Structure 1
Amino acid sequence: MDVAEFEACWHAHLRRVSAYAERHVGRDASYDVAASTFLTAWRTWDAVPAEPLPWLIAVARGHVRNHLRSHRRRAGLEQRLRLLDDATPSATDAGTTAAERSDALAVLAAMPDGEREALLLVAWEGLTTEQAAEVLGCRPGTLRMRLHRARARIEATTPLPLIRSTP
């Protein structure tokens, strides 16, 4: 175990792992998810790949699922809207109106989980399609199809500059 390598990984990726967790479980629980993710990394450091971010987000995703299952935090559309709202920039920061922001969150919340997660990993987490596919445990082609479907839903509903991104 190389402590310096682990510390470098921690400093380089803690913010992104925490942001990922916050989007799913809220600010308070995101600290626990991030800590658990890096504890897993510490304990299994030899299994962490050279490019650790997709691996860390995949581990965080597992901790998020465990957290949600044990605390039953997500109970439908209202809960998802609240969490997404907490994680998005304010309307003035995003250069968009509050109504557009609300519409964007409603479209995201109404998407199937796989499509929404694919879109958010690429657009908000900044992962490549290959990295996002690794996080979700699917092929890059499958992820690209999910992205296509998610973007088609967005285009069919309303123009939403808040969540558009090119992979």
Structure 2
Amino acid sequence: MDTAQFEACWHTHIRRIVAYAERHVGRDVACDIGSSTFLTAWRTWDVVPPEPLPWLISVARGHVRNHQRSLRRRGSLEQRLALLDESAFAGPDASVTATERAEALAVLAAMPEHDREALLLVAWDGLTTEQAAQVLGCRPGTLRMRLHRARARIESTSTGPALPIARSAQ
């Protein structure tokens, strides 16, 4: 690696890479995208072409896409969490703290939809596994497997005692 060539590339193109990123992700993240782009260039300097700008923009484009995907996933998770929080009813059990509730809702929101739906049909809607399987159009054995995965996920991510949703779904 020729450090002088890399530094010259950096000084020549960093403003254009950051400007490109800023058009797509805003000022707050653009410098991070620029840094990530040049980190990629540093790590793979032997494949950077003699005219690096198009290659650098292509790499920056990939980092922009990753950032946008991350934002979409986070937004989707926050939306699911908000929907779950709105639909969760307060239980008469005083042992369910706000922290446990928030933890349970976050775990539920992060679950694959078919596992979460199976758990909620049984735990919140009070259906039997056979009834829930009928609602979801699957076999009772399939539903039991989904419940098992959902409960295992809750138990593996729980930091405290068993979460209320796991207790009520058994």
Give the alignment's TM-score, normalised by structure 2: 0.50
Task: Indicate the residue corresponding to 2:37 in structure 1.
Answer: none
Task: Indicate the residue corresponding to 2:38 in structure 1.
Answer: none
Query: How big is the shift at 1:97?
Result: 1.3
Say if 1:111 and 1:166 are closer, same or farther in 2 by CA, change over 3 A. closer
Kept after mapping to 2: 8 A contact 1:94/1:162: no
Amino acid at match of 1:155: E
Q: 2:164 aligns with which of 138, 158, 161?
A: 161
SS in 2 for 1:114: helix
SS in 2 for 1:101: helix
* Residue 107 (str. 1) matches residue 107 (str. 2): yes
Query: How big is the shift at 1:164?
Result: 2.3
| Mapping of residues 1-167 of structure 1, within 5 Å | 76-90=76-90, 93-95=92-94, 96-158=96-158, 159-166=162-169
Query: How big is the shift at 1:80?
Result: 0.7
Kept after mapping to 1: 8 A contact 2:81/2:105: yes
Amino acid at match of 1:77: L
Kept after mapping to 1: 8 A contact 2:121/2:127: yes
1 CA distance for matches of 2:79 and 2:86? 11
Higher Cα Rg, which structure: 2
Query: How big is the shift at 1:161?
Result: 1.9
Say if 1:77 and 1:151 are closer, same or farther in 2 by CA, change over 3 A. same
1 CA distance for matches of 2:169 and 2:103? 20
1 CA distance for matches of 2:87 and 2:166? 12
1 CA distance for matches of 2:97 and 2:168? 19
SS in 1 for 2:167: coil
Task: Indicate the residue corresponding to 1:54 in structure 2.
Answer: none
Matched length: 92
Segments of structure 2 that go 5 or more residues without pairing to the other structure are: 1-74
Query: How big is the shift at 1:165?
Result: 2.6
Provide, for residues 46-91 of structure 1, a one-character-per-residue CA deviation record: whole Å limited to 9, x for no partner.
Answer: xxxxxxxxxxxxxxxxxxxxxxxxxxxxx61111111111111237
The alignment yields a C-alpha RMSD, in angstroms, of: 1.7
Segments of structure 1 that go 5 or more residues without pairing to the other structure are: 1-74
2 CA distance for matches of 1:90 and 1:132? 23
